[in-house]
Each structure stands twice: as structure tokens, then as C-alpha cells.
Amino acid sequence: MRKFLNSTIILSGIIVILTAITVGLLVYIKNQAPPVRGIAPITAIAAMEPDIAEWGLNFPNQYTTFLETESNQTRTSYGGSDACQKVEEDPRLVKLFAGNPFSKDYKEDRGHRNTLTDVRATERLNEKTPGTCYSCKSADNPSLWTDMGMAAYDKTPFKDLGQRIHNPIGCANCHEANTMRLIVTNPALEEALAAQGKDWHTFTRQEMRSVVCANCHVEYYFAGEGKYLTFPWSGGTTVEAIDDYYTALEFSDWTHAESGANMVKMQHPDFELFTAGSTHYNAGASCADCHMPYTRDGAAKFSSHNVQSPLVDPAASCGACHTDVEYVTDRVAGIQEQVAGTMSAAEEALVAAIDAIAAAADTAKVDQDLLAEARRLHRSAQLRWDFVAAENSMGFHNPEEALRILASATDLARQAQIKAIQAQGG
Ligand code: HEC
Ligand code: HEC
Ligand code: HEC
Ligand code: HEC
């Protein structure tokens, strides 16, 4: 009996101890940090960090594809990344831009990591170039704009500001650090949207996939003595609204050396042409859909940050939505050829208008009112032609709108020519 009692006590003891150990073990296991499955620990990134290598620690796929923008040099029929000299390929440009630095140096654009090298090499720079020209070129901008304010940034001469600028475009131009949210970083874009009663904070993710590009791929001008970066959007973003805006302001970039007209130089209105009711915009597509297609790296899916001509890899760029990639790339070729031909006709008309105005201005008894009218028409015609010419897709972003604008450019140029002939005869 005693022996039985002893073994019961010992057995109960063992059970109690085992239970205690099991409970302890379970509590211990439950309180362990979740296992890390091959994902590198996230490193905190400083707000507006200009160095992409820091961001690259967390996002190696986006980082390495972004680095590829430096070396991709493929040339396509009307685009690509070979920095060819447009004024040598189309000598009519020398006449169209007479008196403007673009008549000397006008190169095809390249990938995002080349922005600093290319802006510093352009022959369009001179002693008076303002700092504003760095606005679309550097990942240092968001923190400089925060520190200095954009007005002071724009007023600083290009060569002085350059000492504070060390990085080409980087992650900080489009993303908020850590949250990786897409954001508007250029104060000029925020102000231009506000002038239209829009607040980008309310935009959807799909809208932001185009709006981040509008930080830079838009028409702009330098307002006033302080060269304040401004987008001419308060009346809308169509070419007519932009023309009206500049006319109301009596703004001009330069006086044409041959026709004497007060001209406006258009700058890459990619966002404006695309959003002017293009088929893809109306269908809800964004810039990133074609220029930053999803790519696979093993199991991971990410947006390619090698932003380039979609024609370099149409299967990736168009294949997500179109099953017949060959058909749509053929359509691009057809559209671009048609737009290039129509653009060439507009150039011919502009050259004729310039010659007629110059001849009229040389005549002693010229009718000054008609001459002034011819110059105004030259300005409006060339602004329209340049809207499509300076845009980067040779019309593909919005074929109907590009052709409509070029037809009206040709019409206005021919009217300018007729007015000049009348002025000379008068
Ligand atoms: C439906 C697809 C599509 C969408 C959407 C799109 N693009 Fe494009 N983009 C193209 C194609 C095609 C070209 C022509 C490329 C060529 O000629 O090599 C092009 C050309 C360009 C170029 C010139 C590329 C080069 O090689 O020089 C730029 C810059 C550009 N697009 C920016 C934008 C921006 C900014 C947006 C949004 C506002 C946008 N694109 C929306 C398809 C698209
Ligand atoms: C911070 C300004 C900035 C932003 C934001 C920006 N770009 Fe650019 N982009 C540029 C500049 C400047 C160039 C020309 C660089 C050069 O020629 O050195 C360029 C060039 C390009 C090219 C031509 C590349 C090539 O290889 O020829 C494409 C395409 C392009 N951008 C598309 C986009 C798209 C799409 C977005 C939005 C997702 C975007 N960019 C956002 C400034 C910007
Ligand atoms: C020209 C603008 C631009 C620049 C510069 C840029 N990104 Fe992006 N990034 C985008 C867009 C657009 C998306 C798509 C976002 C979406 O669909 O919500 C994106 C998406 C991402 C995402 C989300 C996952 C994915 O791949 O879709 C990460 C992470 C990211 N970028 C990291 C980076 C890093 C790191 C850098 C710098 C090396 C960088 N980005 C530079 C525009 C940019
Ligand atoms: C996000 C999806 C999407 C992507 C990416 C996309 N497209 Fe489209 N595309 C559409 C939609 C939607 C339509 C309109 C279809 C319709 O109305 O029948 C369209 C229409 C077109 C059309 C007009 C159809 C025709 O018969 O002429 C062409 C051309 C075209 N796309 C070319 C391209 C090219 C080239 C690319 C790649 C550079 C591309 N698309 C990328 C969605 C896309």
C-alpha cells in the first residue's frame, strides 16, 4: 500500500513537472518573433534620400532595373536613347528656331540616369542660364526645394546651384521614403493642379501612375525675373488653352531672327497630349502601364524601372493588354509615319511663312498692321507644330489629337504667308 502511494506521488510529480515544462515551452514559442523567410530586413531610408543605392538595399529589383536607364542605347525609328542631333537630321529646324539656342543643339532624349550628364553637356547653356533648368534632372531637388523654397532655387544661377546637385533622377523624385507612396515632388506641378482646382492627394493610385511623370514630362515656362517654374495650365491643358494663356500674358521666349515674331518654345508636353482624350487615357491606361511594365524575378513581380521606349520590348510593354503584339507594333509604325509626314508638311508651310514675312518686312511700303497679323499667325502656327514636335512619341500617345493640331498649324502658317504677301503688296 505504501509502495503504491509512493509511486502515485512520484508519477503525479513527474506529470506536474512535464505539464509545467510544456506550458512554459508553448508560451516561449508563442512569444517568438515571426520567422524571416529570405526577405532582407527593411532598412529605414531618410526622407527625400537622394542616393538611390540606399533605397536599393530594400528594393534590389527596382534599383537594378533603374540603373539600366544609364546604358540602354537602342534607337527606334522615331525615338529610343541614341542622342542623335536633330538639327543635323532636319535642317529646317535651324530656320524654325532661328535666334533660339535650339537651332544649335537639339538632341534625342535618353534614359533617366543620364539627366545630369546631358543637361551639363548641352550647348544651350550660357552665363544667364537659371537654376530652374535643374528642376527635372535631379534626385537632390525634393530636399533642396524643402530647404530653400522653389523661388530661391529658381533664382540661383545654374552654375552655382550645380554645386549642390550631385545625383541624376532617383527614387526621391517619385516616391515618399519608407511608405513608397507615389507623390508629387515638384512644387510647380502641385501649384498647376491647384490652379485647376485639383488636389493630387485625392487622386487614385492609377492616376498617380501618370501624374508622377507630369512632375517633368510637361510644357512649362520660367515666369518673371525670378525664372519661377510655372506650368501654363490654369485655363486647361489643350494646345488652344496653352496658346491663350501665353497670349493673355504677352509672354514670349524669344524673337524669331527672320520673321521678327515673338515666339514660344514648347517643351515635351507628353502628359498634356496623352490626357487630351487619347484612346489609352480614356480606357484608363497610365504612363507606367506601357513604360514600366510588370516583370518577374522568380516568384517576385515588380514594375520595371528601366523606363524606355516601349518598342524596345513590346511583348512586355503592350502584351499585358494586347494579345496580338505584332499587330499593335505595326500600328505604331503606321501612326508615326503618318504623323511624321503631316509634321513635315507643317514645317514646309512654316518655312514658307517665315520667308514671306521676312521678305515683306524688308519692303519699304509694307503694311504694318498686316505684317503684325502675319507675325501673330506665325507664332500660333509654330506653337502648335512644336507642341507635337517636342512631344516625344511622334504622335502615338494621341494620334487623332496630334493630326488635328498639325492640320491647324499648317492652316495658320499658310494664313501667315498670305497675310505677309498682302502686307508686302499693300
Ligand atoms: C499605350 C502605351 C503608352 C502609354 C500609355 C504612354 N506611352 Fe509613352 N510612348 C509609347 C510609345 C509606343 C512610344 C514611342 C516610342 C518610340 O518611338 O520609340 C512612346 C514614347 C514616349 C517617350 C519617348 C521615348 C523615347 O524613346 O525617346 C516618352 C518620354 C514617353 N513616351 C513618355 C510618356 C508619358 C510621360 C506618358 C504618360 C503621360 C506616356 N508616355 C504614356 C507608349 C505609351
Ligand atoms: C524628375 C523628372 C522626371 C520624372 C519624374 C520622369 N521623367 Fe522621364 N525623363 C526626364 C528627363 C529629363 C529625360 C531625358 C533625359 C536625358 O535625355 O538625359 C527623361 C527621359 C524619359 C524617357 C526616354 C528614355 C529613353 O531611353 O530615351 C522616357 C520614356 C521617360 N522619360 C518616361 C517617363 C515616365 C513614363 C515617367 C513616369 C513614370 C517619367 N519619365 C518621369 C525627366 C523625368
Ligand atoms: C519616375 C518615377 C519613379 C522613380 C524615379 C522610381 N519609381 Fe518606383 N515606381 C514608380 C511607379 C509609377 C510605380 C508603380 C506604382 C504602383 O503601381 O502603385 C513604382 C513602384 C515601385 C515599387 C512598388 C513595387 C513595384 O515594383 O511595383 C517599389 C518598391 C519601387 N517603385 C521602388 C523604387 C526605387 C527603389 C526607386 C529608385 C531606385 C524607384 N522606385 C524610382 C515610379 C518611380
Ligand atoms: C493597360 C492596358 C493597355 C496597354 C499596356 C496597352 N494598350 Fe493599347 N489599348 C488598350 C485599350 C483598352 C485599347 C482600346 C481598345 C478599343 O477601344 O477597342 C487600346 C487600343 C490600342 C490601339 C488602337 C487599336 C487599333 O485598332 O488601332 C493601338 C494601336 C494600341 N492600343 C497599341 C498599343 C501599344 C503599341 C502598346 C504598347 C506600347 C499598348 N497599346 C499598350 C489597352 C492597352
Q: Which pLDDT tens digit goes with each residue over 74-112?
A: 899 998 877 777 778 888 999 999 999 888 877 788 999
Residue 212 phi, psi (nearest 5): -60, -30
Rg of the Cα atoms in the chain: 30
pLDDT at residue 193, rounded to an integer: 98
The three grid cell numbers given for residue 355, joined into one nine-digit string: 520667308
pLDDT at residue 107, rounded to an integer: 79
Query: Does residue 35 lie within any of the structural domains?
Result: no
Would the CB of 243 count as within 6 Å of ligand 4? no
Confidence label for 1 from pLDDT (cuts 50, 70 and 90): low
pTM for the whole thing? 0.92
Number of structural domains (the chain) is 1
Query: Does residue 30 lie within any of the structural domains?
Result: no
CB atoms inside a 10 Å sphere around CB 147: 11
Q: Give residue 175 CA to ligand 3 midpoint distance, Å.
A: 7
User: Which residues does residue 182 pair with via DSSP β-bridges, in sequence order?
Assistant: 175
- Compute the CA torsion angle 331, 333, 334, 337 (nearest 10 deg): 160
Query: Does residue 258 lie within any of the structural domains?
Result: yes
Burial 82-96 (b: 16+ CB within 10 A, else e): eeeeebeeeeebebb
pLDDT at residue 325, rounded to an integer: 97
Q: Give residue 287 CA to ligand 4 midpoint distance, Å.
A: 12
Q: What is the mean pLDDT of residues 275-285?
A: 98
Query: Does residue 112 lie within any of the structural domains?
Result: yes
Percent of the residues in the chain that have a pLDDT greater than 90, as a whole number:
80
Which residues are within 8 A (CB) of 36 and not within 5 positions of it... i.e. 6 or more apart? Answer: none
- Give the range of the structural domain holding residue 109, as residue numbers without chain letter: 52-70+80-306
Query: Does residue 295 lie within any of the structural domains?
Result: yes
Q: What is the CATH number of the domain that holds 286?
A: 1.10.1130.10
Residue range 3-41, pLDDT digits in tens = 777 888 888 889 989 999 998 888 888 887 665 555 556
Least confident span in 17-26, 220-229, 273-282: 17-26
Would the CB of 402 count as within 6 Å of ligand 4? no
Of the two residues 82 and 353, the one the predictor is more confident about is 353
Query: Does residue 347 lie within any of the structural domains?
Result: no
Sign of the alpha-carbon dihedral angle for 153, 158, 164, 166:
positive
Would the CB of 78 count as within 6 Å of ligand 1? yes
Q: Which residues have C-beta atoms less than 6 Å from ligand 2?
A: 72, 80-81, 109-112, 114-115, 118, 136-137, 169, 173-174, 212-213, 215-217, 287-288, 291-292, 307-309
Query: Does residue 84 lie within any of the structural domains?
Result: yes
- The kind and range of the H/E element at 229 are strand 228-230
Query: Does residue 367 lie within any of the structural domains?
Result: no
